[in-house]
Amino acid sequence: MPSQTSQPFTSLPYDSTTVDDIVAAFDRDGAVILSDFASPDAIRTLNKELGLSSSASPSAVTALASKSRTFVYDFLKSPKLLQFLDAKLQKTTRIWHGEERLSNTSRPQLSATVVFDSAPGSQAEPLHRHDDIYFAEHPLSQPVEIWALWSGSPEGNTTENGCVEGIIGSHTWGEDWDPAGHVLASTEMKTGSCLLLHGSLVHRGGANQSRVLRRSIGASWTQGHLRQEENQYLNISKEKAMSLDEPTQRLIGYKINAPMGGWYELRDPITYLARPDDKVDTVQREFRDEDVVG
């Protein structure tokens, strides 16, 4: 296991920092903190719109863009954040179309939105990488996923209440990474500040050894080409999908791609199609390839 340390990730003032400076720190360390990204009033309004209190939410809060205009316009659509995401996730390729040479550009797409609450006494997470759900083969020349985590509690995110801890530079490691001999850097930040996290960074949520809730409001983006060619969810209505047998539903895309790709409300999306009288595990179901046959 890595050792603990008070060594922090770089923190930059959001308003006065250029996108180039954010990119430089992010590329070097694998994460960067943007202080004072959102005002305390914006955080309070966001918590209110999401129906969040000062105590840990009893169930996961997801689909934030459908529940809070503040989240959309004050957080997701921040011009500087969008410029940063374009700089890191945008991808352009050159192709031949007959005798014509064309350029195709893939723009970032919103992937996940979720509130992470850590109650007093919560244990530290295992060390992990977020982009493992995309079957990324490390090291990467370009990130496939980036997370933004905003501190959403009055006390901010601290080492005592379990802020994210990561190994600086681990986003450049290959697959056979070993945390032994390395140190965990803290991401302490006050309310409204934002942590930008490379999907390949080895990190964890820390243990909450305080008496207060630690809340992070998260959003992730991926490269825009990571999707179906034809959108089956819009092609096939929910009513039509419910009439299909389960193997066909999963073939269309109503399933988790292990470990956690494609979840709906942090559960297997096959449960979205279940009728009230169906005996379906509403938490999570994992399937093997052979389950699709038949």
pLDDT in tens, 45-60: 999 999 998 777 766 7
CB 282 within 8 A of CB 276: no
pLDDT in tens, 242-268: 999 999 999 999 999 888 899 888 889
Which of 146, 204, 159, 195 has its CA nearest to residue 32?
195
Query: To which residue do tokens 């360390």 refer?
Result: 29
Q: Which percentage of the chain shows pLDDT scores above 70?
A: 90
Q: Give the integer Cα–Cα distance in Å for 163 and 145.
A: 20
pLDDT in tens, 77-135: 999 999 999 999 999 999 999 999 999 999 999 999 999 999 999 999 999 999 999 99
Its CATH architecture, for the domain 3-222, is: Sandwich (2.60)
For the chain, which residues make up each domain, given as ranges?
Answer: 3-222, 232-292
pLDDT in tens, 208-224: 999 999 999 999 999 99
More confident call, 256 vs 172: 172
Q: How far apart are the first and last CA of the chain?
A: 45
Query: To which residue do tokens 């195709």 refer?
Result: 104
pLDDT at 281 over 80: no
Under the banding of pLDDT at 50, 70 and 90, the label for residue 294 is very low
Which of 37, 190, 192, 60 has its CA nearest to residue 114?
60
Q: Which residues are CB-contacts of 26 (< 8 A; sequence separation ≥ 6)? A: 32, 84, 88, 196, 198
Q: What is the mean pLDDT of residues 24-36?
A: 98
Q: Give the integer Cα–Cα distance in Å for 38 and 5.
A: 28
> If you average pLDDT over every residue of the chain, what do you get?
90
pLDDT at 290 over 90: no
Under the banding of pLDDT at 50, 70 and 90, the label for residue 277 is low
> How confident is the model at residue 180, as a pLDDT?
85
Query: To which residue do tokens 């060619």 refer?
Result: 229
Under the banding of pLDDT at 50, 70 and 90, the label for residue 197 is very high
pLDDT at 280 over 60: no
Out of 135-139, 155-159, 280-284, which region has the weakest mean confidence (pLDDT)? 280-284
